[in-house]
């Protein structure tokens, strides 16, 4: 009777306390049960007990460095979360990413879902659906079903060098942000290859719709989503839809989506799915030919624009940075370029394939600053696994420390921190070591059934842009003490790469 006489707020307080106690009990129990299976694997205490710290560090672009320090302190297999480990072992990548691997994709990949209700080939966690989609996309990405793939890349690279030569190189001391110019050309290349219509970033010499600025501003949030994939599920709730990029936005990702849908859906996709179907042999045409629906084709084309352009741009930017900060490497590459009597106005793909020092520079660039540095975790199979005598229980998320992998002294030598393309050249190490170095450096594009579909176009872009800028222009940092702003998120965010340019007098 006394309880019935209590004020209602006291009853509410009792219920609230009960809920808090239940939550604390649930948290303690789940923490213990998740901790026990991996208790035999050491790791940093702040990372071991919660993924929240991992999310915070990832959003601050500090997680790759944290993981590298953990590898150095605890060994080649380190615990970095309640159910997460990270490794720098090449064998684990081959084992977990291989064609016949029993490992599966974790929910980490949900962070690449560009539409709240629709997956793409990167965000899919259903293995069968993912493999089926890769099979449909592969002919287009490889270029087998794209007419004039190299010519599409060429005309955009020529547009870039013409822009730099005519607008910036003619006026001595005129500065330009090289980081933006590189992203402009990768955006135009991919829109040209994807659906035969260029966005026009290079032509306008402008960050259209503030796309680049907004994408880079969203990197911290994307890193949080990758560490806390349940947030992606929450964003599907109607209450949060207003926060997602929309076609009515004036700027940013939503505006790109709107521009994309206007130029592709209304002008291209509708033609290819309409009553009078139009067949074009570009990537979109290949996707449709191989069975993608209109919605699937839109999603995949948008993915390659957003994901493909930024990683390719990052690779080109870092390559040019390393060349500019290592004059002896720049000079040796120019000697190789000048001695080859390359095609004009643009080098051919077949010619770049016969340039060993160019490829050594690119491999070393990917080793020192990998264009993609996310954990990319795979889930261990039902029977578990064992690596180097360490048991990995079933259902464990196994990620990669790219910095650790690319700094192993037993593979790269005693100077892994240095930028030295010579380590990839014949005679630099025994043949089997050279083969392993090249294979590991190439893992930045994935491996086995997780191999990057866009590798063909990426290599065309990177080799051609690097060769043409190096053989045509002398570039100088505006501020050698602060040459750029660099942060390592899941991809490299590079801003304010200010340079002055003048035509090269020799070569």
Q: Which residues share a beta bridge with 176? A: 499
Cβ proximity of 195 and 301 under 8 Å = yes
For 441, residues 6+ apart whose C-beta sits below 8 A from its C-beta are: 363, 364, 366, 367, 406, 424
Coil/strand/helix, residue 331: helix
Cβ proximity of 386 and 41 under 8 Å = no
One DSSP character per residue, 67-94 reads HHHHHHHH-SEEEEETTEEEE--HHHHH
Cβ proximity of 113 and 121 under 8 Å = no
Q: 3-class secondary structure for 91-142?
A: HHHHHHHCCCCCCEECHHHHHHCCECCECCCCCCCCHHHHHHHHHHHHHHHH
One DSSP character per residue, 431-454 reads HHHHHHHHHHHGGGG--GGG--TT
For 374, residues 6+ apart whose C-beta sits below 8 A from its C-beta are: 108, 226, 490, 491
Q: Tell me the residue ranges of DSSP E strands in 147-190.
A: 175-177
Question: What length does the chain have?
Answer: 507
Return the sign of the alpha-carbon dihedral for residues 382, 436, 454, 448: negative
Cβ proximity of 471 and 507 under 8 Å = yes
One DSSP character per residue, 24-42 reads HHHHHHHHHHHHGGGTTS-
Angle at 433 between CA 430 and CA 438, to 5 degrees: 125
Does 452 carry a binding-site annotation?
A: yes
Alpha-carbon distances, residue 370 vs 17, 307, 316, 414, 451 (angstroms):
49, 15, 11, 20, 15
> Residues annotated as binding site?
452
> Residues annotated as binding site for heme?
452
């Amino acid at each position: 009777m006394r309880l019935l006489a209590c004020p209602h707020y006291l009853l509410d307080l009792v219920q609230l306390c009960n809920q808090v106690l239940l939550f604390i009990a649930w948290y303690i129990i789940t923490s213990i049960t998740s901790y026990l299976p991996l208790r035999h694997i050491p790791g940093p205490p702040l990372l071991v007990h919660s993924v929240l710290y991992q999310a915070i560090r990832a959003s601050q672009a500090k997680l790759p460095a944290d993981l590298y320090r953990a590898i150095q302190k605890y060994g080649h297999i380190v615990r970095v979360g309640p159910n997460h480990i990270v490794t720098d072992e090449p064998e684990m990548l081959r084992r977990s990413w291989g064609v016949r691997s029993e490992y599966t994709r974790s929910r980490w990949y949900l962070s690449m879902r560009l539409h709240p209700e629709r997956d793409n080939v990167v965000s899919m966690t259903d293995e069968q659906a993912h493999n089926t989609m890769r099979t449909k996309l592969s002919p287009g990405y490889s270029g087998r079903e794209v007419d004039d793939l190299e010519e599409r890349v060429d005309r955009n690279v020529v547009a870039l060098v013409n822009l730099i030569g005519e607008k910036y190189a003619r006026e001595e001391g005129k500065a330009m942000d090289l980081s933006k110019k590189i992203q402009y050309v990768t955006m135009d290349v991919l829109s040209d290859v994807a659906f035969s219509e260029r966005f026009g970033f290079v032509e306008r010499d402008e960050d259209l719709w503030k796309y680049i600025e907004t994408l880079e501003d969203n990197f911290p949030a994307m890193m949080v989503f990758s560490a806390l994939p349940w947030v992606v599920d929450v964003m599907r709730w109607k209450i949060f839809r207003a926060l997602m990029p929309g076609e009515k936005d004036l700027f940013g990702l939503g505006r790109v989506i709107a521009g994309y849908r206007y130029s592709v859906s209304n002008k291209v996709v509708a033609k290819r799915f309409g009553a009078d179907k139009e067949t074009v042999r570009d990537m979109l045409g290949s996707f449709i030919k191989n069975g993608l629906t209109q919605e699937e084709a839109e999603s995949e084309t948008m993915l390659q624009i957003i994901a493909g352009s930024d990683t390719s741009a990052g690779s080109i930017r870092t390559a040019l940075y390393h060349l500019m900060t290592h004059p002896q490497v720049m000079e040796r590459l120019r000697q190789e370029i000048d001695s080859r009597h390359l095609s004009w106005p643009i080098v051919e793909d077949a010619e770049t394939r016969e340039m060993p020092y160019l490829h050594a520079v690119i491999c070393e660039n990917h080793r020192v600053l990998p264009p993609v540095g996310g954990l990319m975790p795979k889930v261990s199979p039902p029977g578990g696994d064992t690596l180097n005598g360490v048991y990995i229980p079933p259902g464990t998320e196994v990620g990669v420390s790219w910095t650790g992998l690319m700094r192993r002294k037993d593979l790269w030598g005693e100077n892994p921190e240095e930028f030295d393309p010579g380590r990839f050249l014949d005679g630099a190490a025994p043949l089997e070591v050279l083969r392993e170095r090249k294979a590991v450096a190439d893992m930045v594009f994935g491996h086995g059934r997780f191999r990057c579909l866009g590798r063909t176009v990426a290599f065309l872009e990177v080799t051609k842009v690097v060769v043409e800028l190096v053989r045509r222009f002398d570039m100088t940092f505006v501020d050698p003490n602060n040459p750029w702003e660099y942060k390592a998120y899941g991809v490299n965010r590079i801003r304010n790469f200010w340079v002055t340019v003048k035509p090269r007098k020799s070569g």
